[in-house]
Amino acid sequence: SLNARYRRAVRARGHFPNDAAALKCLYLVTRSLDPTGRGRARWATRWKPALNAFAIAFEGRIN
C-alpha cells in the first residue's frame, strides 16, 4: 500500500533537515510506484492529489 511505502522510506532515511527534504522523499516514493510492477513511473501524475492532501493535513507547513 501507499502508506506502507511511505513509512518504509521515511524509516530508512531516519530524519530530514527540513520539510522540503521530507516532501522530496515522499515525491520520489510516489514517483517510483508502478501498479504493473514493470518499473514505469506512470503514477508521477498522481503527486498533485497527494501534495494537496499533505497541504490540508499540514496546513501552513507546505508552501
pLDDT tens sequence across 42-59: 555 677 788 888 888 888
> pLDDT by residue (tens digit) across 10-51?
888 888 899 889 888 888 888 777 666 555 555 556 777 888
Burial 11-44 (b: 16+ CB within 10 A, else e): eeeeeeeeeeebbebbeebbeeeeeeeeeeeeee
Domain regions of the chain by residue span: 2-57
